[in-house]
Amino acid sequence: MNVCKIIIVLLCACNYHGITGEGLRKSHPFLRAPTPASPAHRAERQVRSPPPRTKALPPTYLLNHADGGSESKPRPEPTFGLASVKHKSTFNDLSVSEEQMSPEVDPNRPLSALAPFDGGRHDDCEGSLSVAPPSVAPVPLPGPRTCRSSAAAKEGEGRLLPEVCDKCPVTEANLNALDPCMCVGNNGSGAGTISITCPTSMATLDQLESILTTPQYLTYDVFRFTLKGSNVSGVLTQDTWGNLTFHQVVIEGNRITQVDNKAFANSAQTLTFISLFNNQIDYYVTNSHNDLPNLRTLVLKQNKIAVIFASAFSYASLKELDLSHNEIATIGKEAFADLDKLERLFLSYNKLTKLENDWFKFHNHHPDTSFLQIDLSHNFIDFIEEKAFPALCNVQIDLRYNQLTTISEPVFRPIIIASSYFAHFIFEGNPIVCDCGILWVVEDPFIPTCFDNFICPNLNLPLWVVKPADLGNCSRI
C-alpha cells in the first residue's frame, strides 16, 4: 500500500513539472531497469570480498557473556516507509558499498571485539536501535571428582583396580590390595565408605581373613561386604574381619556352619542388615541384650537350624526376621520377646508340629506399622496351646497348609477382642472340621471377617456363608 502511494505521488509530481513517463523511468533509480555490472566491476568486488571463514564463531551465549551481557527483549520488527529509507545503497546494480561489507573475522580476535555492546544494546544501523539476543547460561561444569582411575598395571603384576575412591586400599604399585576381592568407593549417602565383594573362588575362611586383615586401610568403614556362592565353610568370628566395620553383610550360598555371637561386635553401632541365606548354619544366638542396636533385617533362611533357644534374639530395632526353610521343630520360651519393633517374622517351611505357651510372647511390642505378621505356613502344626500368643493384638498369623482341625476359641478370641477386630488369621489348606467347635466364629457377624474365607471340607461351604444352623445342634453350656 505504501509503495502505491509513493508511485502516485511521483506521477503527480512528474505531471506537474512536465516530465513524461519515459523520462521518469530513465531518471529515477526506483523505476529504471537494472543494468548488469561490468566484468571489471565484478572482478573488483571479488577482490574486495573477504575470504571464507575457516573457523566457526563461538556460540552466541559466549559472545554475550564475554562482556557481561544480560538478558534483553527480542529485536523489534523494522517498519517500512519513506522515513526508513536511509541506507546508502544503489538499486541499479544491487551492489554493496565497501563500508557496508562485513569485515574479515580474525580467529585470534578477543571475544569482546566480536560482540561490542553497551548495556545489552548496540546501534547497527543509522537511526535504529537493535537489541542483543537473550543470554543463555552455559551448562555448569561437573564438580570435583571424588574417585580416580588406577594407573595401568604392568603385565603379570596383578589385577587393575576399577574406578575407585581413594579410600580403597592399594599396593605401592597402585594395584588392588584385596585381590581377588574387589573394592569400590561409594558416593551419595554412603560417601566416604567402601564396599568389598569377594568371588566364588574363595576357598577358606583363613584365606578370607588374610585378604581382609593384611592391607593398610584408609578407612575401615565398609558399607557392604558380599561373599556369595563359594566353598567357604566353618565359623564366622570377630577375627575374620579384623578392624573392619560394616553397614550391610551379605554372605549367601556358602557353607558357613556357625556364627559366633561376637562375630560382628565391631559393627555394633553401624550394622543394619545381615543376610546369611542358604548356608549350613545349625544354630544362632545373640551375644547379649541388644548387642546390635541398629540391626533392622536378619535373614537366616534356608539353613540347618533345628532349635530356636529361649531369648535367642535380642535386637531392639529389628523389623524383619526370616527363619523360613529351616528344620525348626522347637522354639524356646520368649525367644522373640525382646524384639520390640518386629514387623515380619517368617517361620514357614519348617518342622513345627505344635505351638506351645509363651513361644510368641513379647515384652513391650510396639511396631512402627499397624500389623505384626507371623508366617507359620507349610509346617505340620496340629495343636496350639492356649497362651501361645499371649497379649498379642493387631496381628496377622498365617497358618496355611498345616494340620489344624479346629479354630480354638481360647487362642484366637482374646487376640480379636484386644485388637478390636483388627486381626487376621489364614487357615487355607487345613483340614478344619466346621462343627460346634467353630460356633463362636459364625454366631458373631464380625468375627468371620477376621479369618480367610477357607472352605469347610465337611460342609463344602466357605466359612463366610456358614450359619449356626449348618453346624448341627450346638448349645453353649
Cell of 283: 544354630
Cell of 148: 580416580
Give the CB-side neighbour count of residue 261, counting CA atoms within 13 A: 13
**Residues recorded for the chain:** 477
| 365 CB-contact burial (10 Å; exposed 0-12 / middle 13-18 / buried 19+) | buried
Name all contacts of 89-97 with Cβ < 8 Å and 24+ positions apart. 90/29, 91/29, 91/30, 91/34, 92/29, 92/32, 92/34, 92/35, 93/34, 93/35, 93/36, 93/37, 93/41, 94/34, 95/37, 95/41, 95/45
| 342 CB-contact burial (10 Å; exposed 0-12 / middle 13-18 / buried 19+) | buried
- β 221-228/245-252 pair status: parallel
As its CATH architecture, domain 286-431 has: Alpha-Beta Horseshoe (3.80)
Cell of 142: 561437573
- β 182-185/194-198 pair status: antiparallel
The answer to whether the CB of 342 falls within 8 A of the CB of 365 is: yes
| 53 CB-contact burial (10 Å; exposed 0-12 / middle 13-18 / buried 19+) | exposed
What CA–CA distances, in Å, run from 145 to 163, 166, 186, 386?
A: 11, 11, 12, 63
> How is the chain split into domains, by residue range?
1-30, 57-68+108-139, 164-281, 286-431
pLDDT tens sequence for the chain (477 residues): 566 666 666 665 555 555 555 554 555 554 555 555 556 555 555 555 555 555 455 555 444 444 444 444 444 444 444 344 444 443 344 334 444 444 444 545 444 444 444 444 444 444 444 444 444 444 443 333 344 444 444 444 445 444 444 689 999 888 999 999 999 998 877 788 999 999 999 999 999 999 999 999 999 999 999 999 999 999 999 999 999 999 999 999 999 999 998 999 999 999 999 999 999 999 898 876 778 999 999 999 999 999 999 988 989 899 999 999 999 999 999 999 999 999 999 999 999 999 999 999 998 887 666 689 999 999 999 999 999 999 899 999 999 999 999 999 999 999 999 999 999 999 999 999 999 999 999 999 999 999 999 999 999 999 999 999 999 888 765
Q: Is the pTM of this model over 0.75?
A: no
| Four-point Cα dihedral 330, 361, 257, 242, nearest 10 | -160
Cell of 397: 498369623
The answer to whether the CB of 72 falls within 8 A of the CB of 134 is: yes
Name all contacts of 30-38 with Cβ < 8 Å and 24+ positions apart. 30/6, 30/91, 32/92, 34/91, 34/92, 34/93, 34/94, 35/92, 35/93, 36/93, 37/93, 37/95
Amino acid at 190: G
Residues 6+ apart with CB under 8 A from 188: none
Backbone angles phi, psi at 118, to 5 degrees: -120, 105
